């Protein structure tokens, strides 16, 4: 088995040596670019899955690692720290996301990854991932597509940091998360929302006081309901209007160009 990074080596007694069971539950497995034979190749390539508690580092900045870590359940986030200790969240990671996709091509990354909730992670060795990319065009397209979506999300977050009001920043984030967790309805959608005010502030460049004030205003306006870390959006269209939100940048499966989809499969 590939050696773990120091950040989580002490929890090695919690491995599941049938990781394909967890891989199948992810959006990665359901990628529109994959043929069945390529799904099976991914199954054979992963080496373990494991449960991690909330608030545990999975990847540490500049630390060398041998595995791509696929989030199978739960939420995590990427973050970077300034010399004065200030922290910026740079990505939210949800089931099907690869926590350290950069490690497909680079041995070290310029960020850390921490669990937000309890998570299950599936490990794909970097050398096996590179071999799969060479052998299977659908897997290569899947990794490329994930990188492109990450870039699109980062661009929208940068726009929020530089040009949106606090009200629009938080509204836009909530609209994005609703899509990413699989809620594309128009009315009264509800989903778990584990982010705390401090984490929203670290993501959107706002103080805790500003986040608190803005969330209270969104509630007062009837745009959201938030209770016991469960978020309800009564009127999705109204929240999207407040945010100036257009979901097309998330490139959901129905928007994938037909020319990029597989045209044949192997039994």
Q: How far is CA 235 from CA 27, 144, 190, 192, 242, in A?
A: 26, 34, 11, 17, 11
Residue pair 77/89 in contact by the 8 Å Cβ criterion: yes
Residue pair 99/71 in contact by the 8 Å Cβ criterion: yes
Closest CA to 70 of 30, 107, 35, 108: 30
12-21 mean pLDDT: 72
pLDDT at 259: 57
Weakest mean pLDDT among 21-25, 103-107, 147-151, 159-163: 21-25
pLDDT at 5: 46
Residue 12 has pLDDT above 60, yes or no: no
Residue 266 has pLDDT above 60, yes or no: no
pLDDT in tens, 95-150: 999 999 999 999 899 999 999 999 999 999 999 999 999 999 999 999 999 999 99
User: Could you tell me what percent of the chain has a pLDDT over 70?
Assistant: 89
Q: How far apart are CA 192 and CA 230, in angstroms?
A: 4
Which has the higher per-residue pLDDT, 2 or 24?
24
Closest CA to 70 of 54, 55, 58: 58
Q: How far apart are CA 85 and CA 73, in angstroms?
A: 29
228-252 mean pLDDT: 94
Rg (CA), the chain: 19
Q: How confident is the model at residue 256 (pLDDT cuts 50, 70, 90)?
A: low
Looking from the CA of 260 toward its CB, the CA atoms found within 13 Å total 15
pLDDT in tens, 50-64: 999 999 999 999 888
242-258 mean pLDDT: 79
142-164 mean pLDDT: 95
Q: What is the per-residue DSSP string for the chain?
A: -PPPPTTTGGGGGGEES-THHHHTTSTTTT-TT--HHHHHHHHHH--EEEEE-TT-EEE-TT---SEEEEEEES-EEEEEE-TTS-EEEEEEE-TT-BTTGGGGT-S--SSEEEESS-EEEEEEEHHHHHHHHHH-HHHHHHHHHHHHHHHHHHHHHHHHHHH--HHHHHHHHHHHHHHHTT---SEEEEEE----HHHHHHHHT--HHHHHHHHHHHHHTTS-EEETTEEEEEEHHHHHHHHT--GGGG--GGGS-GGGS------
Weakest mean pLDDT among 4-8, 50-54, 76-80, 169-173: 4-8
Angle between helices 137-163 and 126-135 (to 10 degrees): 110
Which has the higher per-residue pLDDT, 9 or 248?
248
Q: How far apart are CA 140 and CA 41, in angstroms?
A: 12
pLDDT in tens, 171-222: 999 999 999 998 877 778 999 999 999 999 999 999 999 999 999 999 999 9
Residues, the chain: 267
Q: How confident is the model at residue 19 (pLDDT cuts 50, 70, 90)?
A: confident
Residue 1 has pLDDT above 80, yes or no: no
Interacting residues of 248 by C-beta distance below 8 A, sequence separation 6+? 255
User: Could you tell me what percent of the chain has a pLDDT over 90?
Assistant: 77
pLDDT at 4: 46
pTM: 0.88
Residue pair 135/68 in contact by the 8 Å Cβ criterion: no
């Amino acid at each position: 088995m590939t050696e773990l990074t120091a950040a989580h080596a002490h929890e090695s007694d919690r491995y599941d040596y049938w990781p394909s069971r967890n891989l199948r539950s992810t959006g990665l497995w359901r990628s529109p670019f994959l043929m069945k034979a390529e799904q099976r190749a991914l199954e054979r390539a992963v080496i373990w899955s494991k449960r991690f508690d909330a608030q545990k580092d999975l990847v540490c900045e500049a630390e060398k690692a041998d595995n791509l870590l696929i989030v199978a359940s739960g939420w995590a986030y990427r973050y970077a720290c300034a010399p004065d200790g200030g922290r910026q969240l740079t990505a939210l990671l949800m089931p099907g996301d690869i926590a350290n996709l950069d490690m497909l091509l680079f041995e070290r990354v310029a960020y850390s990854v921490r669990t937000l909730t309890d998570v299950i992670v599936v490990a794909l060795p970097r050398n096996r991932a590179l071999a799969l990319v060479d052998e299977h065009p659908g897997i290569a397209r899947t990794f490329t597509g994930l990188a492109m979506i990450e870039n699109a999300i980062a661009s929208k977050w940068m726009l929020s940091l530089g040009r949106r009001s606090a009200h629009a920043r938080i509204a836009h984030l909530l609209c994005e998360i609703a899509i990413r967790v699989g809620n594309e309805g128009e009315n009264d959608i509800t989903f778990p929302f584990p982010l705390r005010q401090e984490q929203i502030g670290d993501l959107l460049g706002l103080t805790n006081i500003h986040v608190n004030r803005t969330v209270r205003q969104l509630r007062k306006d009837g745009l959201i309901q938030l209770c016991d870390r469960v978020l309800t959006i009564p009127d999705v269209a109204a929240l999207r209007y407040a945010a100036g939100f257009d979901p097309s940048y998330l490139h959901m499966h129905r928007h994938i160009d037909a020319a990029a989809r597989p045209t044949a499969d192997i039994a």
